A and B are shown apart, each in its own frame.
Chain A
């Protein structure tokens, strides 16, 4: 028989719990007070890589004094996660500005009637091929789809790539096409080839043991480490590997018609945005020449779409510009995007 715990101990502990609760509540309160500007901050959903986007958004905060709260997507579910979240929140939106690192998700939101038109100074400087005629979104700072090639394993030529793709694809890597820019690549192929040919092509690739991984950065890591010989990725990931001194080279992904896939970032204001004035300021900031130059000069080497002073561009970006000029138009792929996404969801989410 053990003696019962004295009630005074229980009571004392209860009082201390209450005191601790009050202390933690006070901490939350203090946090809210210290960061009070963030309660009324501009809410940005951003699917661009946080390591790059954060600098840009902090610079916007510094220049304008407008506090920004950002919600980033994960690398694995790039852009699709945020688009789905925005769709879920459609009735009660909390996002003011959507900075998408690709186009398709933005097109989907535009089709859903969720985007608010805005023709600001930024919109005006972007060429017509990269913006919505109704001004619901505008593109900026593009990336290219390309082959990343480990030069210790393979010569960086189209012939060598064709040869590598003719047999077993055990040493070829690709991100899951449900997400991000790989999805854009699939959508472009869907538009170009039609449903049946794309599905047959996809199944043939998988049957030949193509390595499907979580994201483009994983593709880059695999090729850079020599675990795979080649892979599909984007320019920003390629330059990350090259800056690390890895033995890699790039070649643009060429479609049957010779075109390349140039994928812009897109920015849009959500209908029902609570901070419309600030949202417009951010859109103009992102679409400005200064911002495009900053993204071009940064580690991601994004290709400016609006007019910029060419001599301010890094040499690597100037090398990319002719390839970007060969980009197939992405403006009219809404229906292909919806159909392709529906098929991809049955492949990867069922």
Chain B
């Protein structure tokens, strides 16, 4: 069921991402910026927030589970289509629209130029596009969206939708043996491994120089704007409005009895540690992996093992780590933050690698070289920030927020006395929507954003001097 749902959502997301890419290539800067905000906001909205907001609505659909599942699938599609759009946008077409047009002209096929191709000509045309590598990026986008939707658990749990992740999480909490959990994970793991292998293979291929994207036409733009608005409203605006409404009513109670302070600090620390670990692994191991020497082989091997561990997903990896720290030699680590930070770092690693690849694809290396030649001037630092460091900064922010909102690994591995905020929230969210809980959710939501804003203030420190 989850497999079928994820396949359909991934296909839809890739199809919908095309017109969104055209919108993102719009020549008007304000419109383009607005489109980016509308596109990325649903993706960055924590699933706990969306799931919590729609939990009661889902309960009201208990007599119509198929409608509930459909609504859940729509939310997933709205949430993860931005991933497909970003991949397609930053993975430029291997051949430009002009080149395709030239080919048609060279074939001197008047019908082709008028776009009313015969079936045979159409097939030939598709074959040409496939051979030119035009299917690679949609396949990569499909694989990544599939991964995101297939492994989703929190929203499915809060919206009472059947999913292998929820079933396994609950079964494990209910006492399912680790070996049995791993056995049950095998099927889903194979699906995820296939998706990951596809994405890594396709995204890892060397490419021709980027061909600029062509902005879409009027009707496509209307469709894209409408889609973005709907996704923004359903994934972010309605949940945020509900939580804010609750926050207003529950704010006084929250101030009187603010019980989540320690949990939020714990989550921020775990997220910072995990982000740093993932970032450092990507940065240093990638450097080791460069070149051809023995060190490179070792670097590649370590990176490969770490990525494979990360791809196991938080549930399996956490269970394995939990089993490991029960062993006598590692028992002293059990009540420390090490198991959770390590697990979160490994879980973040594949995403960190993908981000690194995107940054490489979109980096302006020649401009960066010029900025470096300008030496220590403030203008050079600003230029370096804009050309290079800002990308890294936002990648780090993405990893940090991703780690902050983790639930699965946190629920299993957090040391006693350092319970992450998501675990407490997830627990309390099962009691239904109450004003003070909405206020807590709002505070939880605001904390990492505040940290990121503060970190943005240190941006000059990150630019090379």
Contacts and interface: CB of A to CB of B under 8 A. Distances in A.
Interface of A: 2-6, 8-10, 12-14, 16-17, 20-21, 24, 27-28, 31, 35, 38-39, 41, 43, 49-51, 54, 69-77, 80-81, 83-84, 87-89, 91-92, 94, 170, 173, 178-179, 211, 213-215, 217-218, 220-222, 225, 227-228, 240, 345, 348-349
A72 B430 contact: no
Contact of A217 (B366, B424, B432, B464): B432
Interface in B309-357: 326, 331, 334-335, 337
28 contacts: A3-B366, A6-B372, A9-B464, A13-B464, A16-B462, A17-B280, A41-B416, A43-B416, A50-B428, A51-B428, A77-B174, A80-B173, A84-B173, A84-B174, A88-B326, A178-B174, A179-B174, A213-B62, A213-B160, A214-B160, A214-B430, A218-B430, A220-B432, A221-B432, A225-B60, A227-B60, A348-B171, A349-B176
Given A16-B462, A51-B428, A92 B174 contact: no
Given A27-B272, A170-B63, A349-B171, A94 B334 contact: yes
A289 B192 CA distance: 55
B417 A41 contact: yes
Contact of B170 (A10, A13, A72, A77): A77
B416 A76 contact: no
Interface residues of B, number: 55
| Top 9 A-B residue pairs of the complex, sorted by shortest distance between their CB atoms | A75-B430, A84-B175, A69-B417, A81-B173, A2-B365, A77-B173, A3-B369, A38-B417, A12-B464
Interface in B178-215: none
Contact of B174 (A12, A80, A170, A222): A80
Interface string B220-248: 00000000000000000000000000000
B272 A24 contact: yes
A84 B172 CA distance: 9
Contacts of B266: 31
B431 A13 contact: no
A38 B335 CA distance: 12
Contacts of B462: 13, 16
Interface of B: 56, 59-60, 62-63, 157, 160, 170-171, 173-176, 259, 262, 265-266, 269, 272-273, 276, 279-280, 283-284, 287, 326, 331, 334-335, 337, 365-366, 368-369, 372, 384, 388, 392, 411, 416-419, 424, 426-428, 430-432, 461-462, 464-465
Contacts of A69: 416-417
Given A24-B272, A214-B160, A218-B430, A228 B62 contact: yes
A311 B462 CA distance: 67
Contacts of A17: 276, 279-280, 283
B337 A28 contact: yes
Contact of B280 (A10, A21, A38): A21
A27 B334 contact: no
Nearest to B429: A75
Most A CB atoms within 10 A — which of B171, B428, B432, B465? B432
Nearest to B337: A28
Contacts of A228: 62
Contact of A24 (B175, B273, B416): B273
Contacts of B337: 28
B335 to A, nearest CB: 6
Contacts of B284: 14
Nearest to A38: B417
A31 B263 CA distance: 12
Nearest to B416: A69
A21 B411 CA distance: 25
Given A74-B411, A349-B171, 13 more contacts: A5-B365, A5-B369, A8-B372, A17-B279, A17-B283, A74-B427, A75-B427, A76-B430, A81-B174, A92-B331, A179-B174, A221-B432, A240-B431
A9 B370 CA distance: 12
A28 B269 contact: yes
Contacts, number: 150
Given A8-B372, A24-B273, A74 B430 contact: yes
B173 A74 contact: yes
A9 B174 contact: no
A77 B426 CA distance: 12
Given A6-B372, A35-B262, A77-B170, A49 B431 contact: yes
B246 to A, nearest CB: 13
Nearest to B427: A74
Nearest to B368: A5
B273 A50 contact: no
Contacts of B326: 88-89, 91-92
A348 B174 contact: yes
Contacts of A178: 174
B269 A217 contact: no
Given A38-B417, A94-B416, A6 B369 contact: yes
Nearest to B432: A221
A139 B328 CA distance: 35
Contacts of B428: 50-51
Contacts of A3: 365-366, 369
Contacts of B171: 348-349
A81 B426 CA distance: 15
Contact of B427 (A31, A50, A80): A50
Contact of A72 (B59, B157, B427): B427
A83 B272 CA distance: 32
B125 to A, nearest CB: 33
A20 B276 contact: yes
Nearest to A16: B462
Contacts of B365: 2-5
Given A211-B62, A214-B430, A217-B432, A50 B173 contact: no
B285 to A, nearest CB: 13
Contacts of B62: 173, 211, 213, 222, 227-228
Contacts of A170: 63
Contacts of A349: 171, 174-176
B59 A227 contact: yes
A2 B366 contact: yes
Contacts of A91: 326
A6 B380 CA distance: 14
A35 B430 contact: no
A89 B334 CA distance: 11
A9 B368 contact: yes
Nearest to A170: B63
Contacts of B56: 221, 225
A94 B326 CA distance: 11
Most A CB atoms within 10 A — which of B59, B369, B431? B431
Contacts of B430: 74-76, 214-215, 217-218
Contact of B175 (A35, A54, A80, A94): A80
